[in-house]
Amino acid sequence: MGGINYINNLIGALSTLPTKERPQIHFIINEKHLSALPLHREILSVCDKLIYLSPNPGPVQTLFGDSLLYVRSEQELFKLIDVYFPDNFDKMQNINSIKWIPDLQHHFLPEFFTPEEIVKRNAVFKKAADSKGTIVFSSESAKNDFSSGYPHSTARLHVLHFFSRTEERWFEDNPDKIAAKYNLPEKFLINCNQFWKHKDHLTLLQAISQLKQEGIPIPLVCTGPTDDYRFRDYMKTVADTIRTLGINDLVHILGILPRQEQIQLIRKSSAMIQPSLFEGWSTVVEDAKALGKTILLSDISVHQEQKPDYAHFFKKQDVAGLKNLLRQIWPALVPGPDSTAENKAKEETATSVARFAAECMSMIKTHLSPLKKDAPMPVAVNEECLRKEKEFWNAGTIEEAMFEKIVTDKRILSLPKEQRIEEWNKSVQSSINQILKGLPCKPDWKVLEIGCAIGRLVKPLRQQFAQVDGVDIAETMISFSRQYMADARPNGRIVLNNGADLMGFPDATYDLVYSMITFQHIRSASVVKSYFSEISRVLKPGGFFRLQVFDRSNPKMGDMNDEAENDRQYGFFGNGYTPEQLRALFDGFGFAVQDLTHTSPWIWATGQKKAAVLDNTIRFPEPLMQDPGAFLSDVTRLVEQQQFKEAVDKFTAERNRYYDSPELKEFEALIQKLKTMIK
């Protein structure tokens, strides 16, 4: 069901794109998956074509007639499409088949797989790792697992978080009516998992049983397929466990339900519960986020990465921990739906789905575009350095984060709380003034901070710009940011990254990337270079990178080119820079240095991404360059000098003189592309 929901959410998200950005969506069916077609009925209406792929389409063609387009081979299919995605488990051999690896569960829970399955999965993953293609993961956790298992992979790795897309009809139905249809009690928990062994229903059932013995009966509703192809007796084990524990009266197993009915039961429930031992990115959690539901979650890394607003975590496979959590929160839970929480979730979900669609299209365009010969290549990074950085920056409390990791003046630490906050706010405004100094800021800018911590600067900048995002390496900083940013404008996101790249952020998105009091703490030149490469990638043509670092005046600082030798550079003292080193970095990664101010111990630098590196796909036809007339020659020269706005202005002012020229019409299409790039 996870794969079915993934495809439904993907197609649903892409269908919401503006007409000019929306791709043609063809839904591909083969004989093996024909029986699952009804489970996709909600998204079939937004697909442009339904294509049946089979060497022998006859029987299906007789049944469906002209409602399907029929192709007999992969070669025929790729004459009709540009990209096949998601390709799970290497169904296609074409280079434009984008692989999707949900997780590497068999590496961590091999007991849940047959030896044949493990061999097959390893072979498929190894083939993908050795390719020059693109592999998509739904979580940073899954990507990191893959990178650890296949450290020498030559493929492009991309994280694409998916989100559950809400529909208006979800909120027009009556949840009470559906609950009554299945004779459910007024108050219940709901678990929406297929009955596979790793979903760990047994821990949940034991906790329910022990609470019943304590006089706390908690009804549980379970939806989802009841067959685990790997453990055919698992459903019998579940049924036997329910009977042995004496909780038949509390557990309601409903099996597969129509999506609309399942959604109504989620809305009606008092809370959702997800005890799974392993996930790539949980659809259950995304459903909870989309509907504003309280959810109880096992503490696996993916669940924590998904960060639902109303989450309560318990240690996986810990019956006592889950029992204690349920005992604590069950009395305060009430039956749904909660219209206030649902309305808030709908707004947030619409933003998340739009971002999902945009990032998916960016990933596809990147895949289809050959690597630009002038673009910096990916840099191998010092993983041990990153591990130690994470350890250092994971603060224990938000107070420690604010006054012992971020604003570290010991004088402030000794002040009363109100005065500390006052000093904090002063530092915020001072920092913003320094970051924006000399920049031609516009309200419609999209901005990204590297090393955002709890959102100290992201929060006020969201009042000034259209979108402000942040990334940080420390899990607790990201966790504390939810508290600190609770009353901030929701025009952006704060993301836990791996400390070395910006995977999951689309190309050519931001007008400004900045980093303050961060890069001097990076003890690895390889990590710094990786970041410079990634920042160049995500900036728009002409976008700005504003950076602050320490110089070499403090003897405790290492050299910018050091790789954290002998642990001496961990803690607050990292690598210092000379102005010459900083300028060379900017130049080496395609930035024109606009400003470099050295006031010891700080160096501030501003680089502007060179448009030629950013988009070298704009090419003017050779005949036009040779003899298009003086007017077109002048425009061409301006383009070659990267004076794109001037080229557009000149063309727009004089184009009517040559309106009937065939050369001009060809030129006009290229000018339109320039206009889009400038915007």
Q: What is the secondary structure of 216-227 as a DSSP string? A: ----EEEES---
Residue 566 lies in a domain: yes
Give the C-alpha separation, 428 to 399, whole Å: 16
Give the C-alpha separation, 670 to 248, whole Å: 69
Q: What is the DSSP letter of 621?
A: -
Residue 12 lies in a domain: yes
Residue 356 lies in a domain: no
Q: Is pLDDT at 363 greater than 90 in this prediction?
A: no
Q: Is pLDDT at 600 greater than 70 in this prediction?
A: yes
pLDDT score, position 347: 86
Residue 362 lies in a domain: no
Burial class (CB in 10 A: 0-12, 13-18, 19+), 364: buried
Residue 370 lies in a domain: no
Assess whether 460 and 511 both reside in one domain. yes
Assess whether 442 and 591 both reside in one domain. yes
pLDDT digits (tens, 9 = 90+) for 411-436: 777 788 888 888 888 889 889 999 99
Q: Is pLDDT at 125 greater than 50 in this prediction?
A: yes
Question: Of residues 612 and 2, which shows the higher confidence score?
Answer: 2
Assess whether 146 and 184 both reside in one domain. no
pLDDT digits (tens, 9 = 90+) for 609-618: 976 433 434 4
Q: Which of 129, 159, 189 represents a domain boundary (last residue)?
A: 159
**CATH code, 596:** 3.40.50.150
pLDDT score, position 200: 93
Q: What's the rounded mean pLDDT across residues 139-147?
A: 88
pLDDT score, position 159: 87
Assess whether 141 and 55 both reside in one domain. yes
Assess whether 545 and 645 both reside in one domain. no
Q: How many domains does the chain have?
A: 4
Listing DSSP states for 125-186 in one string gives HHHHHTSSSEEEESSHHHHHHHHHH-TT--SEEEE----PPP-GGGGTS-HHHHHHHTT--S
Contact status, residue 440 vs residue 419, Cβ threshold 8 Å: no
Give the C-alpha separation, 490 to 507, whole Å: 22
Give the C-alpha separation, 633 to 389, whole Å: 54
Assess whether 128 and 225 both reside in one domain. no
Say if residue 601 is preceded by a cis peptide, omega within 30 of 0: yes
Assess whether 202 and 155 both reside in one domain. no
Q: Is pLDDT at 350 greater than 70 in this prediction?
A: yes
pLDDT score, position 605: 94
pLDDT band of residue 629 (cuts 50, 70, 90) is low
Residue 569 lies in a domain: yes
Query: Between helices 662-678 and 644-654, what is the axis angle to 10°?
Result: 140
Give the C-alpha separation, 244 to 247, whole Å: 8
Q: What is the pTM of this model?
A: 0.55
pLDDT score, position 357: 87
pLDDT band of residue 659 (cuts 50, 70, 90) is very low
Which among 160, 162, 159, 91 has a CA at the least distance from the CA of 128? Answer: 91
Contact status, residue 16 vs residue 357, Cβ threshold 8 Å: yes
Q: What's the rounded mean pLDDT across residues 571-579?
A: 77
Assess whether 498 and 606 both reside in one domain. yes
Q: How far is CA 117 from the centre of its chain?
A: 29
Q: Which of 343, 368, 395 represents a domain boundary (last residue)?
A: 343
Assess whether 668 and 522 both reside in one domain. no
Q: Is pLDDT at 627 greater than 50 in this prediction?
A: no
Assess whether 670 and 598 both reside in one domain. no
Share of the chain above pLDDT 90, in %: 33
Q: Is pLDDT at 664 greater than 70 in this prediction?
A: no
Tell me how crowded residue 142 is: count the other CB atoms within 10 A of its CB.
25
Residue 378 lies in a domain: no
pLDDT score, position 505: 81
pLDDT band of residue 525 (cuts 50, 70, 90) is confident
Assess whether 632 and 603 both reside in one domain. no
**CATH code, 333:** 3.40.50.2000
Q: Is pLDDT at 619 greater than 50 in this prediction?
A: no
Q: What's the rounded mean pLDDT across residues 365-391?
A: 62
Burial class (CB in 10 A: 0-12, 13-18, 19+), 623: exposed
Q: Which of 142, 159, 176 represents a domain boundary (last residue)?
A: 159
pLDDT score, position 645: 74
Q: What's the rounded mean pLDDT across residues 355-366?
A: 85
Residue 376 lies in a domain: no
pLDDT score, position 621: 38
Give the C-alpha separation, 184 to 268, whole Å: 10
Range of the domain at 233: 168-343
Give the C-alpha separation, 184 to 178, whole Å: 9
pLDDT band of residue 596 (cuts 50, 70, 90) is very high
Q: Is pLDDT at 323 greater than 90 in this prediction?
A: yes
Assess whether 217 and 285 both reside in one domain. yes
